A and B are shown apart, each in its own frame.
Chain A
Amino acid sequence: MSSTVSATSQNEGWSGGNKPMKASYGKLMMWFFIVSDALTFSGFLAAYGFSRFKFIDSWPIADEVFTHVPFMHGQELPMIYVAFMTFVLIMSSVTMVLAVDAGHHMNQAKVTFYMFLTIIGGLIFVGSQAWEWATFIKGDYGAVKTNGGNIIQFVDADSNKRIALKDFATSIETEREQNLAKNGVWFMSESALSDYTLDEVIEGFEASPNLLVRTQIIEGNHKTVLSREESLKMLVDNGSYVVEGANLVDNEYGTPLFADFFFFITGFHGFHVFSGVVLNIIIFFNVILGTYQRRGSYEMVEKVGLYWHFVDLVWVFVFTFFYLV
């Protein structure tokens, strides 16, 4: 085995300068870090899998959640934008390998150019993720949370398409204002009020006969839609408050766990991408200053490259488990 140290080199090994498994110290340590970080991410994804299998009959359908593409308002284009983000990250991985390759040839100009492209790719990815978060937090249709903590959504009886609250809710005069610590007698505060109250939604629902309620329960490949009488009964008896968009407590697309995992896992990954970009920028300036040219080796580019590819590797799994499966 290549890791076995022969008898002659064993004595020399004690004096240092030995390379086990023919990898330098820095590279080996980067690999060890990557293994431990891979286990962290698999812990998160396994926890996601746990919650999903626990609620296998009511988990939100990702295709219905992530349907937006920038500058394409009102069109349902599931997965197109995530596919684009995946491609950007793979592409920046490619420019990173090209930078490493140019480093092996001691070509400073090419390493600089490819490192620059890698940084741009990373920035586009982080920006896209921020946009994705903003869209998810804002939400699009709105829903009602029941007393039992479930989400009910509204669909058109004929087309089975989802209908936004703003398209049917009526307007009722109210003096209810957001409770702020600076105004209240007991200095209590609350989160922002939804655009519509539950009463407005119920009144609007009663006035539009072609609306139905859709529950969280999946039957076959679709969520269950109730009949008109059941819908009215569900909304009036069980409706608790209006939910718009997603946060850590409420999620208009279904169980709040989905939003919690989305924020946590993509957030943790986005933080990795961000740190990767920072590391890349540091190495980029070292390349420009000629540090590695003088050192006679571009191995530092290779080490930061390993990290950058790892970030891409993790995204491949996040993409599958969050958007595809």
Chain B
Amino acid sequence: MADGHKLEIFRGLIKFKSNTQKIWGVLILLTIVTTVEVVLGIIKPPFMMESFLSMKILNWIFIILTIVKAYYITWDFMHMRDETPALRRVVVWTAIFLICYLMWILIQEAGYIFDTYDQGYIKRDF
């Protein structure tokens, strides 16, 4: 192991020989994911436009692919893979917990306001 870098991605499915090689490998992965996103965004397959858990399947796919990209940027470009588990947890869990809470409370409330505009008589009370 050169320089104490962990050189495996996909839980050891792909092993790189050097840190430089791993960087290029991750670039290829990120490029593929971005290309898939753009192609899906342009052709918009009809079966992905169905609603699933109150959002289009296509949008779920976009969000999941974004989180995949964020994972590899943080883990390999920002060397999170090489940090101690404590540092990893301090940074990632804090952010994920607070962001999930924020998203949930705001989007929940927005849906409520939309329904009130849509079905109720109140139009300009917010």
Binding site for B on A (CB under 8 A): 1-3, 21-23, 28, 31, 34-35, 38-39, 42-43, 46-47, 49-57, 63, 78-80, 83, 86-87, 90-91, 93-94, 96-98, 100-101, 104, 221, 302, 305-306, 309-310, 312-313, 316-317, 319-320, 323-325
Bound form: Cα–Cα A54–B20 in Å: 46
Which 5 residue pairs of A and B lie closest in terms of their CB atoms, listed nearest first?
Answer: A53-B110, A3-B86, A21-B87, A2-B84, A320-B66
With beta carbons under 8 angstroms apart, the residue of B3, B69, B87, B99 that contacts A316 is B69
Query: Number of A-B pairs whose CB atoms are under 8 Å?
Result: 140
Bound form: Cα–Cα A52–B54 in Å: 14
With beta carbons under 8 angstroms apart, the residue of B23, B70, B83 that contacts A23 is B83
Q: Is chain B's interface secondary structure helix, strand, loop, or mixed overall?
A: helix
Question: Is the C-beta of B24 less than 8 angstroms from some C-beta in chain A?
Answer: yes
How many chain B residues have a CB neighbour from A under 8 Å?
Answer: 51
Bound form: Cα–Cα A316–B33 in Å: 11
With A3-B84, A90-B30 already in contact, the answer to whether A39 and B110 are too (CB < 8 A) is no
Residues from chain A with a CB closer than 8 A to the CB of B77 are 93-94, 96-97, 309, 312
One digit per residue, 1 when the CB lies within 8 angstroms of any chain A CB and 0 when it does not, for chain B 56-76 equals: 000100110110011001101
Bound form: Cα–Cα A91–B27 in Å: 8
CB of B70 within 8 A of CB of A317, answer yes
Bound form: Cα–Cα A55–B111 in Å: 9
CB of A90 within 8 A of CB of B27, answer yes
Quote the shortest CB–CB distance from B52 to chain A (angstroms): 14
Bound form: Cα–Cα A109–B27 in Å: 23
CB of A49 within 8 A of CB of B110, answer yes
Bound form: Cα–Cα A47–B107 in Å: 9
Binding site for A on B (CB under 8 A): 3, 19-20, 23-24, 27, 30-31, 34-35, 37-38, 41-42, 44, 49, 59, 62-63, 65-66, 69-70, 73-74, 76-79, 83-87, 90-91, 94-95, 98-99, 102-103, 106-107, 109-111, 113-114, 117-118
Bound form: Cα–Cα A55–B118 in Å: 10
Residues from chain A with a CB closer than 8 A to the CB of B31 are 87, 90
Quote the shortest CB–CB distance from A283 to chain B (angstroms): 17
Quote the shortest CB–CB distance from A256 to chain B (angstroms): 16
Residues from chain A with a CB closer than 8 A to the CB of B59 are 324-325
Quote the shortest CB–CB distance from B92 to chain A (angstroms): 9
CB of A324 within 8 A of CB of B78, answer no
Residues from chain B with a CB closer than 8 A to the CB of A313 are 70, 73-74, 78
Bound form: Cα–Cα A97–B21 in Å: 11
Residues from chain B with a CB closer than 8 A to the CB of A23 are 83-84, 87
Residues from chain A with a CB closer than 8 A to the CB of B69 are 316
CB of A49 within 8 A of CB of B86, answer no
Contacts A3-B87, A93-B77 aside, 12 further interface pairs with beta carbons under 8 A come to A34-B91, A39-B98, A42-B102, A43-B102, A46-B99, A47-B106, A53-B107, A53-B114, A86-B34, A94-B27, A96-B77, A320-B66
Residues from chain A with a CB closer than 8 A to the CB of B79 are 100, 302
Bound form: Cα–Cα A156–B79 in Å: 53
Residues from chain B with a CB closer than 8 A to the CB of A46 are 99, 102-103, 106-107
Bound form: Cα–Cα A312–B26 in Å: 14
Bound form: Cα–Cα A97–B80 in Å: 13
Bound form: Cα–Cα A55–B110 in Å: 8
CB of B34 within 8 A of CB of A90, answer yes
